[in-house]
Structure 1
Amino acid sequence: MPLLAGLTRRRRLVTVGAIVLLTLGVFVAKTATAHASGADEETQFILNTFMFLVWGALIMWMCAGFTMLESGSVRTKNASIICLKNNGLNTIAGLAYYFIGYHQLYV
């Protein structure tokens, strides 16, 4: 594997394992989608609700990560203001989605 030649053995195993897991996840997702297309409405509703919950949680983790990135690039005295600003922006975005976006997307 010339692509991974500069990495240590453990790092190489972790990288290859991550690639295998991601590939396997894509195939499982495609298979689940193929099976879900023939499912009844109740099962489809349950899967959509679960995916909505999971992707929402991932977006919130992404926002938290961006907050940490942004607060790490300013002085210590300004980090709390950055966290407050990002928290406020996420709250405003969530409320706007609740009042406007959900109705446009799902109703």
Structure 2
Amino acid sequence: MSSAVSTTAYLARRAAQKERVRILYRRALKDTLNWAVHRHLFYRDADDLRDKFEANKHVSDLDTIDRLIDNAEATYNNFRHPDPYIVPWAPGGSKFCRNPTPPAGIEIIYNYGKEDND
């Protein structure tokens, strides 16, 4: 019984670590796009980033993995781009809420030239 519990706990911790690494890699890769002006620069930086992640792929000690993830997250937070690219129509983008909804009490009538001829 103890073996099953320890195996389950081990697998749950490894799954959480894999998820943290996946999220960290995706964030770092997307942030690399903010630093690279041209695609050929991005591809080189992306390869370097992948090599950094692949260098610790062989580590199997759970505490060491947690420490490596914490260090990588701290490094990522220190080197994040101060002015990241935001899609224009997304929240925080330059076109977000450019045409806000009219205030309450203003009615828009779309009659398309079919005015009443009284």
TM-score (norm 1): 0.47
User: Which has the larger share of helix?
Assistant: 1
Larger Rg belongs to: 2
